[in-house]
Every structure is written in structure tokens, then in C-alpha cells.
Chain A
């Protein structure tokens, strides 16, 4: 695959790794670094006596191994070497036996996994009975997790949110982790978001209660799944995080459009990593959410680069009311996004109300506002459009102010009904991510 620096940095599990990797992407720190068509390797000194040995598989999805003890995946050493490779600073050379052995072993393993996922992707049912058994087991797991979650929520409400706020971070994370175990990753993400809302500064009780209420609506939906119309039931399943195979989604009707990949939000709390990548269709104006969850951000798909535009078929998840989607067939190459139009605040609020009417469980809706200017009103930050309509940002956004220079710009963000989280800004002729 073609590696570029941005793609490598996107693999980093967190900012600290990204920083450390940049410091290690210096050829002088490496011994015996080299690469060939499929792999790269090298040794780098760390805190231990023996230098760490790093090997990279460059074939399709990047993969790595490193002898360092770090639990982060990829570790800073692997990222550093990837950066060097991306910058073309590693010479070609013969592969050392150790790297060769790892790569060989890896290829055998991936071949097995590929065979398995091939079956999943094509929807080919290898053992219908076994699959039905798995599905039933998962349903039971989720049911048990939800009963547990309901009891946990009841306890919070009985004791009061004032008392709940004094709980440690770990207690919210633990509740989230139990839901990951119960195979309900969608709910896990919401529970962890409760922890963040509880520590979100002035106005936190409103935010926390609103999110708990919305979470409760998902649980009620789950309990009445059998009574719901099929679309709504499917949307509830999607919100819970019930798996839908790729093939099932890709079999659904496609929306073909030229899509702008506008922004990505990555969160990783060590247990579960989540990435929301927002696409917007140029012609139809519709939004699509590419959601990735996994044990670490390294496993996320790299098929779409933020800041590019591409023509493709996009398929919505069952239900079709929410935003979650998959990219199907691509038509042509992706190109950098060279212009972007936003809309007024009033339209964004109306779109949010419509989206809620279709799926009241949506935690946030994407917005693309413009032209807007950032305004600071008594220490409160807002973006304000030409009509004087503004949405609050909740936190200072100095980088947005710097990029805009106080001139009207187009801002992409997530609106949760209370605050706009700014994610990207179109300035200087290109889309730039905001911290």
C-alpha cells in the first residue's frame, strides 16, 4: 500500500504516541533499517539494554511487531519506522531472517482469517445451524448486559446525580467495559459518554440527565423490539451495536454521490476505540457516518482519507433512519477537497429536528455551517452565521479563530443539542482538522 505521513499518524493510538513517534522518525536513531517491497525492519535503542527490533508488513493493511514492552498498538517504535518509510528515508536491502520469519508466520495467519472473513463478507453461510446458535447466544448476552445496565441506571437515579458525579472515572468506564463484554458496543460508548458529561463543567446536570434519558429510550426500544416496525427495530439494533454483516449492508440500496470526507473523531479509552468519520454527499447533501470500533485505533479501516472527495456508492445500515453507513463500490480516484459550502444555522437546527424525528436516539448530528465567524461573547464561544444566528461551542476554539482570522469560513462539527463540537474548518483552500 502507499503510505503517507498523515495515514501513519492516523494509526497512532493517542497524541503522546504521535509525538514520540515524530521524535523517533530520525534515521540516526536506527540501526540496520531497510525495506523491500513487502516489509521494513530496523533496530532502535529504547530504555532497555538490548535495542528493540521492529518489523513492518507493508503489503496491504500495515501491520507491525516490536520487541518493546509497550502495550500501545502500534508502539512509538513501529510508528517511527513507519514514518521513516513514508518519508522515503529507509533504504532498500535484504530482509534479515528474523523479519522474514515473522512475516511468513503472519501471512499464514492472515490467510486463515481472510478465508473466514471472506465467508462473512459474501454472506455465504458455512454452517447455518452454528450461525443461528451464535446469533442466539449474542442476543442472550446483550439481553443480560441490558438488564445489568438498567439496574445500574436505576441506582444512579435513586441515589441522585449529585452523588453520582463524585464517582471515579473508573466506575463509568467499568460500566462501559461490561457492555463491551456483553457485545453491546453502541451502548458502551454511550455509557462512557455519561462519564464525560458528568465532568463537563457548568451545566453538567442538564447534559448528563439528557444523555441518560436518551439512553433509557434506547433500552425501552430494545425491550419493545418485537412491537416496533422493522425499520425502527433495525435502527434500535444499530444503536445497541448489534452486528450487521458487511454483506447485509452492501446488499441494501445504494446512494451514489460525490462524497466529501469532512471530519473524523477518534476516542480511545484503552478498552474500546471508536472513530466516527463523517461523509457528506455533494449532490444530495445527505450525511453518512462510517463508524469503527475496536480494541485500538490501529485496526480502523483506511479506505477513506479525511479532506478528500470521491465518487462512490454508500449503503445505509438496516433501518436507514440513522446515519451509519458503509462505502460500497468506488467510482474513480479520491481527490483533495478543493471547495466546500456550508449552510445557515437555522437549516442545521431544522435538519437536527428532522433527524431526531426519524431516530430519536441519535447522540449527535453532523453539521456543516458557513459562512460563519467565531465570536466570543462574555467568555462563551459561538459560531455565528450571516443572519446573526449562533450555536455555542462550549469550549474555546483558538485554532478555529487562527484559521479563520475572523473572516467567514465553513465549519464542520457535531451538534448534540447543547454544544457544537468543531471538527474541521475549510480555510486557505483546504479542509483543516481542528484539535
Chain B
């Protein structure tokens, strides 16, 4: 009798205006006879006859519905739960953070949860995986708090493969993936492989070097800066630096400049020492024309530094040379600040300090009167040293001068020590009140302090924000958002702390 239902659906789709009165559709049996009687009843217009038979047939079909027997098997069940879930308060907060409110606090929730030996509650695993699928930056934090159940779940859906047990981090056959992948897949693969096995990554690049396109080769050389070491030097020096494509040569020179013992860095050292005299006044003698061998090592004619084109060559040479030949950093930076070509030198040293990760030089250069790219220099330091440096620098600066330093707060990751929270927030609040024009610079720092204050500083900071808002009506609206964030974090940390 179900065979007649499709006929009825077809008639309904087209409409009785076109199909007229439905034919006898009841089929065999008592129910069928009943339906046919309904259709045949001349009292009923065509529409009502169709609806009445649909009602009767639908009810009969539903009452006779049988279970389905899927061909597929259930997936192998998840391994036993390895970690407890946090309490309901914490779960509700996570749901809110995943929903988009205060998304910036999501990494902290996940980290604190993982450190506490707990995991994302089962019910929220799908949203956590979805959110991190869309936002790569969140993946490490989510991975840390998935637990066995989360990894199992991720293995059930292709979109979540990045988090699925075996698939995470490890590729079954990198050589095959390298040979067959698209350009984007190969770049991602190279970055992942270099992070764990740099030699294997280099071997992959060399294997297909002859046949790869120039823009791929340049991108691969850029990716070799992940896990870069002197083991990579021969390939970069002897093949990539001599490549026929300009972009590849430039990428190779930039990579080699990060290795102070590379042959390129040593050539740059010789050039630098030949043209700059180390000393108090730093006399400089530059060639009239850009030498061919400088170009071969990646010095570009077009780049103009301070003091004209030739000073630009000097900056590039110094930026690629090892820093050890210039004497102790503080003295060199101090005296060069007054020299004729001092700006070109300081600029070059700044780049070299970033490339070679030299914290002694970075600290010295940050202390210069007008440092080049201070954010990059600050990033050379370890997080704790960054916080320490910035706190001292702000402390030493008169309140009005803090505006230049405050944006550097963005480079200091969570957790901020109490000293930095105190001085950064204090200076920012003072700026907001005193110099409305600079409030745009200071306002984000208050929010950052609330987002990043470490557990040692947070409760007191939240209380101070509340008090300051009460005391000064102008500050009250400025402090509303930082205060909300600080209090949310106080709650978040308390919710994730198991009660004794």
C-alpha cells in the first residue's frame, strides 16, 4: 500500500488544478478501501479528497513504519575517558566563550583546563573543534584540552582531521605527500616536517628541486627558516643562492644571514670590516658603485636607507654580518648614535639582532634614542625578559613619554608579572586622563593588562580597576571593559580550580 503514496505526493506537488481529482490510491486492504471511499465521495471537492487521503495514508504509513537496518557499523568506541571534566560553572563559561563572547579568553580557559589535568566537557567538544577548525591559532590550545574522547571524536569527521589521534602532527608517508600534494599542501607539510625533523624537510626540498617552479622554490627556502641550522648551509649557499630565479636567490641570502657562521655571513663580515672602522667615531668609506659580489649575496640596489642609497647598502651588509665583531653591544650602540653613518649602522644591527636572536644586542638597541622596529627587537627576548624590560623602561620614563612605549605591551604574552601590570596600567590610565589625543594608544593597553595579568597580579588588579572607576567618573567608562575582562578571568580561574 506504500506504493500508492508516491502517486499521491506527485499529484500534490503538481496541484489539483493540473491533475484534477486524485485517482484511487488506497491500494489493497481495509485501509486502502477506506481511502478510496474518501476519494470517491462526490461530496468532497478534489482538494479535500486529496488532503483526506493524504492524512489517512500518512497515518497508516507511520503506524506501519519498520526499523531501518543500516549497512554501516558503529565506529569503534572511544577509549576509556582519561581525564575528568571540569564543573558545570566552568562548562557554562566555556560555552559562552565558544559562542563568541569574549573569544580572546578562550586560549586561557583551555590552557588552565589542560594544566589542571582536565578536558573540554564532552557536550562542548563539537563546538570547540569547529571553532579551532576555523581559527588555526586556537588549535594548540584545543589539542591540549581534548583528552581521549576529543581525539576520538575528531577522528570521526574529515574537517576535524587536524586533531584526530594518529593524524595530528604525523604524516604517514611524507615523501608521497610531498610528491603528490598541491602547492599549499606541500608548504604546510614542509613547515610541519621542519618543526620536528629539519633534515627530512631539507631532503624533501632537494628531492624535487630541479622540477619545482620558481615561486614554489622561493617559498620552500622561506620555510627552511623553521628549524634552521648550519646543516642547511651547504644547500642554501651552493644551490639556492645560485638559483636562476631572483626571488629564490633573495630568499636564500635572507636565510643565510640568520646563520652567523655561514659563508655568506663571513663574506659580509669581511665587507663590513673593510668599509667600517670599529671605534668611537665609526668612520665609513663606501664604494662608489655597488660591487657585483655584494649583489650576488643579496644586497639590493633599490633599497634606500637613511643617508642615501649607499648608506642603504651598508645597512644590508651589516644586517647580514655576525654581530660579534663590533665590540660589546652597549658601547657600540651608544657611540654609533653620534656617528655620521650611525643611523645606517644601528638599523643594520637591529636587523641582525632580530635575525640572529641576540638578546644582548636587542636590549642595547632598545635603549637607543630612536630604535628601529622596537617591537621586533623586543620579540628577540624571552617572554619574562620582555615583561621585565618593558616594566623598567616604563618606570624610567616620565608619564608623558610613556605613549611611545605602550604599544610594545602587545609583544609581552600572558602572564604579565605584577610589576608590569601595575606600571603599564598606571601609565595608560594617566595618559587617558591627561592627554585625550593619546587615549587611543593607551586604551588598548588597559585591556591587554586585564587580559594578560598573571594569577599573582589579577585579583588585586581587578580590585584596583573597580576602585579607580568608583573614584573618578571620567575613568569609569574607560575602565568598564578592562574591569569586565579582569573579573571574568578571576571567575574563570576560580571555576577551573578544583575545590578541596
Q: Closest residue of chain A to B44, judged by CB? A: A220
Interface-central residue, B16, B62, B156, by most chain A CB under 10 Å: B62
Q: Cβ of B74 and Cβ of A28 under 8 Å apart?
A: no
For A407, what are the chain B residues with a Cβ–Cβ distance below 8 Å?
77-78
Closest chain-A Cβ to B81's Cβ sits at a distance in Å of 8
Q: Cβ of B73 and Cβ of A28 under 8 Å apart?
A: no
Q: Cβ of A216 and Cβ of B149 under 8 Å apart?
A: no
Q: Which of B167-175, B348-356, B374-382, B477-485 is the contact stretch?
A: B477-485
Query: What 0/1 readout, one digit per residue, does chain A (60-80) give for beta carbons within 8 Å of chain B?
Result: 000000000000000000000
If the complex has contacts A29-B484, A220-B52, A375-B73, are A214 and B59 also in contact, measured as CB distance less than 8 A? yes
Q: Cβ of B56 and Cβ of A157 under 8 Å apart?
A: no
Q: Cβ of A217 and Cβ of B52 under 8 Å apart?
A: yes
Q: How far is the CA of A129 from the CA of B72 in the complex (A)?
A: 66
Q: How far is the CA of A428 from the CA of B58 in the complex (A)?
A: 38
Q: How far is the CA of A363 from the CA of B67 in the complex (A)?
A: 19
Q: Cβ of B70 and Cβ of A380 under 8 Å apart?
A: yes
Q: Cβ of B51 and Cβ of A205 under 8 Å apart?
A: no
Interface-central residue, B57, B61, B68, by most chain A CB under 10 Å: B68
For residue A142, CB closer than 8 A to chain B, the reply is no
If the complex has contacts A26-B487, A205-B13, A345-B67, are A216 and B102 also in contact, measured as CB distance less than 8 A? no
Interface of B is mostly: helix
Q: How far is the CA of A357 from the CA of B62 in the complex (A)?
A: 11
For B483, what are the chain A residues with a Cβ–Cβ distance below 8 Å?
28-29
Q: Cβ of A22 and Cβ of B92 under 8 Å apart?
A: yes
For residue A42, CB closer than 8 A to chain B, the reply is no
Q: Cβ of B77 and Cβ of A377 under 8 Å apart?
A: no
Closest chain-A Cβ to B480's Cβ sits at a distance in Å of 6
For residue A175, CB closer than 8 A to chain B, the reply is no
Query: What 0/1 readout, one digit per residue, does chain B (350-388) give for beta carbons within 8 Å of chain A?
Result: 000000000000000000000000000000000000000
Q: Closest residue of chain B to A405, judged by CB? A: B78
**B80-109 interface with A by 8 A CB criterion:** 81, 85, 89, 92-93, 95-96, 99-102
Q: Cβ of A153 and Cβ of B74 under 8 Å apart?
A: no
Q: Cβ of A27 and Cβ of B487 under 8 Å apart?
A: yes
Closest chain-A Cβ to B5's Cβ sits at a distance in Å of 8
If the complex has contacts A158-B47, A406-B78, are A384 and B70 also in contact, measured as CB distance less than 8 A? yes
Q: Which of A279-287, A323-331, A386-394 is the contact stretch?
A: A386-394
Closest chain-B Cβ to A256's Cβ sits at a distance in Å of 30
Interface-central residue, A157, A398, A399, A403, by most chain B CB under 10 Å: A157
User: Of the candidates B18, B71, B99, B477, which one forms a contact with A22 in the assembled complex, judged by CB atoms under 8 Å apart?
Assistant: B99
For residue B55, CB closer than 8 A to chain A, the reply is yes
Q: Which of B121-129, B232-240, B436-444 is the contact stretch?
A: B121-129
Q: Closest residue of chain A to B68, judged by CB? A: A390
Q: Cβ of B55 and Cβ of A214 under 8 Å apart?
A: yes
For B53, what are the chain A residues with a Cβ–Cβ distance below 8 Å?
213
Q: Closest residue of chain B to A19, judged by CB? A: B99
Q: Cβ of A209 and Cβ of B58 under 8 Å apart?
A: yes
Q: Cβ of A360 and Cβ of B77 under 8 Å apart?
A: no
Q: Cβ of A389 and Cβ of B67 under 8 Å apart?
A: yes
Q: Closest residue of chain B to A434, judged by CB? A: B123
Q: Cβ of B63 and Cβ of A352 under 8 Å apart?
A: yes
Q: How far is the CA of A161 from the CA of B14 in the complex (A)?
A: 7
Give the number of chain A interface residues (Cβ < 8 Å): 67
User: Of the candidates B47, B62, B74, which one forms a contact with A406 in the assembled complex, judged by CB atoms under 8 Å apart?
Assistant: B74
Q: Closest residue of chain B to A346, judged by CB? A: B67
For residue B76, CB closer than 8 A to chain A, the reply is yes
Interface-central residue, A22, A213, A357, A380, by most chain B CB under 10 Å: A213
If the complex has contacts A213-B58, A356-B59, A378-B72, are A349 and B50 also in contact, measured as CB distance less than 8 A? no
For A217, what are the chain B residues with a Cβ–Cβ distance below 8 Å?
52, 55-56, 59
Q: How far is the CA of A373 from the CA of B71 in the complex (A)?
A: 14
Q: Closest residue of chain A to B17, judged by CB? A: A158
Closest chain-B Cβ to A101's Cβ sits at a distance in Å of 26
Q: Cβ of A353 and Cβ of B63 under 8 Å apart?
A: yes
User: Of the candidates B50, B54, B153, B486, which one forms a contact with A28 in the assembled complex, judged by CB atoms under 8 Å apart?
Assistant: B486
Q: Cβ of A210 and Cβ of B73 under 8 Å apart?
A: no
If the complex has contacts A158-B47, A210-B54, are A19 and B101 also in contact, measured as CB distance less than 8 A? yes
If the complex has contacts A407-B77, A427-B122, are A209 and B12 also in contact, measured as CB distance less than 8 A? yes
Q: Cβ of B9 and Cβ of A209 under 8 Å apart?
A: yes
Q: Closest residue of chain B to A418, judged by CB? A: B62
For A153, what are the chain B residues with a Cβ–Cβ distance below 8 Å?
47, 51
**B406-452 interface with A by 8 A CB criterion:** none
Closest chain-A Cβ to B15's Cβ sits at a distance in Å of 3
Q: Closest residue of chain B to A29, judged by CB? A: B484
Q: How far is the CA of A158 from the CA of B45 in the complex (A)?
A: 11
User: Of the candidates B8, B101, B152, which one forms a contact with A20 in the assembled complex, judged by CB atoms under 8 Å apart?
Assistant: B101
Q: How far is the CA of A406 from the CA of B194 in the complex (A)?
A: 36
Q: Cβ of A163 and Cβ of B15 under 8 Å apart?
A: yes
For residue B466, CB closer than 8 A to chain A, the reply is yes
For residue A111, CB closer than 8 A to chain B, the reply is no
Q: Closest residue of chain A to B49, judged by CB? A: A157
User: Which 3 pairs show the lowest CB-CB distances between chains A and B?
Assistant: A160-B15, A213-B54, A417-B62
Q: A29-B484, A352-B62 are in contact. List 8 more A-B contacts (CB 8 A).
A: A29-B480, A158-B47, A349-B67, A389-B69, A402-B126, A403-B122, A403-B123, A417-B61
Can you list 30 pairs linking A and B with CB atoms under 8 Å apart? A5-B89, A28-B462, A28-B465, A28-B466, A28-B483, A28-B484, A29-B484, A154-B45, A154-B48, A159-B15, A206-B5, A206-B9, A210-B62, A212-B51, A216-B51, A216-B52, A345-B67, A346-B67, A349-B66, A356-B59, A373-B74, A373-B77, A377-B70, A378-B72, A380-B70, A384-B70, A399-B123, A405-B152, A406-B74, A428-B122
